[in-house]
């Protein structure tokens, strides 16, 4: 074996442990009886420790350094070899720059933070959470100092790199600023619009088992391969990608919200299609892995929004819906369903937000975490700042912190630099979709016939198969010819919502 082959074998072997952890974590959420919880925590901690030991072992570091010396491997930056070496170096640097004591401190704080946050949210008492959040900010500052950031950058960048490699606050700001302005304008127009879609679709009660069989068919119809995956139920929907041959989606059902079940399932199926489309021959190496959370989210939003909220999709889906459920569903009009899934309504809770206002929730969090990290916003002033932002961006009065700055788990888990990946996902998604639609000469006619393989094949070729061959921002330029911009998403939202609201 060459040194590079040895390196890949080691990396793939270590990845087996991550894959095992991913199945155990899935099992914990989906199948495990309660009694298994304490033991499962120990199993996952041990597997994480073993994977970490292998990821920083001297033998591994030497092998990586040896390969980096070989110009035949690094010459072409888009080659599998070069992208593997680049990504492995990035991960190793991040692992070795952090002292073990800080890693342990963060793990303990994340665990404590989640427990304290859950109590504080339940009690609607920010003062309970504030001391922990202060420690989170202080720890993340020290963590960022270990990593460092590029000249002209800022502390936020060092943390975001874990979720969206190479992404900087400045870049995010440059896209978010025009996006916020145009989105706010659109949302104002909608608020004053002459008509509103009905919510009849959302008010119908349907048995959960019938909902389940319907979304299973739907997920199969858009191309999810059940021989290489599953769909189960969990409290919070997620997609667990252990291997392109074994991708596990979860979703949730409420009797009175089929629309949510469809949206959540299409969303997770989008993540799953990405995982199933990653190149099998590079499995277990960076080249064969998802490139960033933003790109991952672009694939979930693709099927949830660009497909699942399109008029052409609903022209195909509605007759199937009527046949499957009958009863009240049979009486729904096209406007009831298409309009219903596209209703826009400023609201307090991010995870319940519609496609348009969702991004404002994200921008608020991005600004607030950025200011907390830079020291510009004190933790104790977070609730007031949150309320001011919601008033300004969405015109809403936040009545309490439980429905305000205590609503999300992320910061309590020490995850700052994460939120923007959701909106980056929406932006990448819209930009990819425009290009696919152009390349394929319009997708609507195919969707109306229930044909989704054209889009999927395009995504396989341009987004899934490339894995981590290029950083996310470069992938976007490579695929669409342009850097990421707010324009495609705004064209998508305006083009759909203005006619719907009679604007």
**Considering Cα of 183, then 186, then 187, then 188, what sign does the dihedral take?**
positive
Is 495 a binder of a second copy (CB under 8 A)? no
Catalytic residue among 87, 164, 171, 268: 268
Stretch that binds a second copy, among 16-24, 85-93, 354-362, 458-466 (CB under 8 A): 16-24
Q: List the one residue from 162, 225, 461, 487 that touches a second copy (CB under 8 A).
A: 225
Tell me: does residue 166 bind a second copy (CB under 8 A). Answer: no
When the beta carbons of 197 and 229 are compared against a second copy, the nearer one is 229
Query: Among 3, 25, 43, 193, which residue sits at the site for a second copy (rule: CB under 8 A)?
Result: 43
CA–CA–CA angle 48, 288, 427 (5° rounding): 95
Q: Is 16 a residue that touches a second copy (CB under 8 A)?
A: yes
Q: Is 36 in the site for a second copy (CB under 8 A)?
A: yes
Shortest distance, CB of residue 351 to a second copy, whole angstroms?
27
281 a catalytic residue: no
Task: Say which DSSP state 36 is in.
Answer: G
Query: Considering only residues 2, 9, 31, 99, which one is a binding residue for a second copy as defined by CB under 8 A?
Result: 31
Distance CA(392)–CA(483), nearest Å, equals 29
Considering only the stretches 43-51, 343-351, 363-371, 428-436, report the one whose residues sit in contact with a second copy under the rule CB under 8 A. 43-51
Q: Counting contacts by CB under 8 A, is residue 27 touching a second copy?
A: yes
Q: Under rule CB under 8 A, which residues in 50-109 are in contact with a second copy?
A: 50
Please choose, out of 35-43, 362-370, 391-399, 400-408, the segment that lies near a second copy by the rule CB under 8 A: 35-43
Q: Which residues of 446-460 are buried (b: 16+ CB within 10 A; e: fewer)?
A: bbbeeebebbbebbb
Count of other CB atoms within 10 angstroms of residue 97: 14
Binder among 6, 40, 212, 320 for a second copy (CB under 8 A)? 40
Q: How far is the CB of 268 from a second copy (least distance, A)?
A: 15
Size of the site for a second copy (CB under 8 A): 35
Using CA atoms, how far apart are residues 370 and 348, in angstroms rounded to an integer?
Answer: 21
Near a second copy by CB under 8 A, which window of 14-22, 158-166, 195-203, 465-473? Answer: 14-22
Nearest approach in angstroms of CB 9 to a second copy is 11
Given 3-state DSSP classes, what are the helix, strand and coil percentages for the chain, each rounded to the nearest 5? 70, 5, 30
Distance CA 105, CA 484 (A): 36
Using rule CB under 8 A, residue 246 touches a second copy: yes
**Does the footprint of a second copy cover residue 481 (CB under 8 A)?**
no
Kindly state whether residue 244 participates in binding a second copy, applying the rule CB under 8 A: yes
Part in contact with a second copy (CB under 8 A); list of ranges 225-233, 305-313, 324-332, 493-501: 225-233
DSSP track, 414-444: T--S-THHHHHHHHHHHHHHHHHHHHTT-SH
CB of 227 to a second copy, least distance (A): 5
Least Cα distance to 243 among 208, 211, 281 occurs for: 281
Contact between 39 and a second copy by CB under 8 A: the answer reads yes
CA angle 437, 438, 440 (to 5 degrees): 65
How many Å apart are CA 212 and CA 112, to the nearest integer?
36
In whole angstroms, how close is the CB of 244 to a second copy at the nearest point?
8
Count other C-beta atoms under 10 Å from residue 125's C-beta. 15
**Residue 288 binds a second copy, judged by CB under 8 A:** no
The answer to whether 394 and 369 have CB atoms below 8 angstroms apart is no
Residue with tokens 């989640």: 114
* Residue 228 contacts a second copy per CB under 8 A: yes
Structure tokens at 121: 């949210």
Residue 209 binds a second copy, judged by CB under 8 A: no
Can you say how many angstroms the Cα of residue 366 is from the centroid of all Cα atoms in its chain? 15
Residue where the block lists tokens 């290489």: 228
DSSP alpha helices (H): ranges in 57-168?
58-68, 71-74, 80-97, 100-123, 126-147, 155-160
User: Cα–Cα–Cα angle for 288, 298, 463, nearest 5°?
Assistant: 40
Q: Contact between 38 and a second copy (CB under 8 A)?
A: yes
The answer to whether 287 touches 468, Cβ cutoff 8 Å, is yes
Q: How far is the CB of 176 from a second copy (least distance, A)?
A: 39
| 13 is a contact residue toward a second copy (CB under 8 A) | yes
Question: Residue from 101, 209, 227, 502 that binds a second copy (CB under 8 A)?
Answer: 227
Q: Is residue 239 helix, strand or coil?
A: strand
The answer to the question of residue 29 lying near a second copy (CB under 8 A) is no
State the Cα–Cα distance between residues 287 and 299, nearest whole angstrom.
Answer: 18
245 binds a second copy (CB under 8 A): yes
Please tell me whether residue 216 binds a second copy under the rule CB under 8 A. no
Contacting residue, 25, 29, 32, 139, with a second copy by CB under 8 A? 32
Of 105, 109, 115, the C-alpha closest to 134 is 109
Could you tell me the sign of the dihedral formed by the alpha carbons of 372, 140, 483, 435, in that order?
Answer: negative
Task: Give catalytic residues, as residue numbers.
Answer: 268
Which residues in this chain contact a second copy in the complex, by CB under 8 A? 13, 16-17, 19-20, 23-24, 27, 31-40, 42-43, 46-47, 50, 225-230, 242-246, 283
């Amino acid at each position: 074996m060459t040194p590079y082959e040895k390196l890949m074998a080691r990396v793939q072997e270590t990845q087996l442990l991550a894959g095992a952890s991913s199945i155990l974590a899935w099992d914990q959420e989906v199948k495990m009886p309660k009694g298994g919880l304490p033991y499962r925590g120990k199993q996952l901690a041990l597997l994480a420790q073993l994977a970490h030991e292998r990821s920083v072992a001297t033998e591994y570091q030497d092998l990586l350094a040896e390969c980096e010396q070989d110009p035949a491997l690094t010459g072409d930056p888009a080659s599998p070899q070069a992208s593997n070496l680049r990504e492995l170096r990035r991960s190793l640097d991040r692992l070795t720059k952090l002292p073990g004591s800080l890693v342990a401190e963060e793990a303990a704080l994340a665990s404590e933070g989640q427990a304290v946050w859950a109590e504080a949210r339940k009690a609607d008492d920010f003062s309970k959470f504030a001391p922990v959040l202060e420690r989170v900010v202080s720890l993340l500052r020290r963590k960022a100092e270990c990593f460092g950031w590029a000249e002209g950058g800022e502390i936020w960048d060092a943390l975001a790199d874990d979720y969206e490699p190479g992404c900087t606050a400045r870049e995010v700001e440059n896209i978010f600023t025009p996006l916020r302005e145009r989105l706010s304008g659109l949302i104002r127009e909608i608020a004053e619009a002459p008509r509103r879609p009905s919510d009849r679709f959302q008010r119908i009660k349907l048995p959960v088992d019938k909902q389940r069989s319907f979304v299973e068919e739907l997920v199969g119809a858009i191309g999810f391969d059940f021989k290489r995956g599953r769909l189960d139920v969990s409290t919070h929907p997620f997609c667990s990608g252990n291997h392109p041959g074994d991708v596990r989606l979860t979703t949730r059902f409420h009797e009175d919200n089929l629309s949510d079940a469809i949206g959540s399932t299409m969303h997770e199926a989008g993540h799953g299609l990405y995982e199933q489309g990653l190149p099998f021959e590079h499995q277990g190496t960076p080249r064969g892995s998802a490139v960033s959370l933003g790109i991952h989210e672009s694939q979930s939003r693709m099927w949830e929004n660009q497909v699942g909220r399109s008029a052409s999709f609903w022209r195909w889906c509605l007759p199937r819906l009527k046949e499957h459920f009958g009863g009240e569903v049979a009486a729904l009009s096209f406007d009831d369903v298409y309009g219903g899934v596209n209703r826009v309504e400023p609201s307090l809770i991010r995870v319940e937000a519609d496609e348009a206002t969702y991004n404002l929730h994200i921008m608020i969090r991005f600004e607030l975490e950025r200011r907390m990290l830079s020291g510009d916003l004190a933790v104790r002033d977070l609730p007031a700042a949150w309320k001011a932002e919601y008033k300004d961006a969405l015109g809403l009065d936040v009545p309490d912190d439980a429905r305000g700055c205590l609503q999300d788990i992320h910061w309590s888990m020490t995850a700052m630099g994460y939120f923007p990946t959701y909106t980056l996902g929406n932006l990448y998604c819209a930009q990819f979709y425009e290009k696919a639609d152009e390349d394929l000469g319009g997708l609507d006619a195919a969707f109306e016939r229930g044909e989704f393989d054209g889009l999927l094949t395009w995504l396989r070729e341009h987004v899934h198969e490339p894995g981590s061959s290029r950083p996310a921002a470069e992938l976007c330029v490579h695929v669409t010819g342009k850097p990421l911009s707010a324009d495609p998403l705004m064209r998508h939202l305006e083009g759909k919502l203005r006619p719907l609201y009679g604007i």
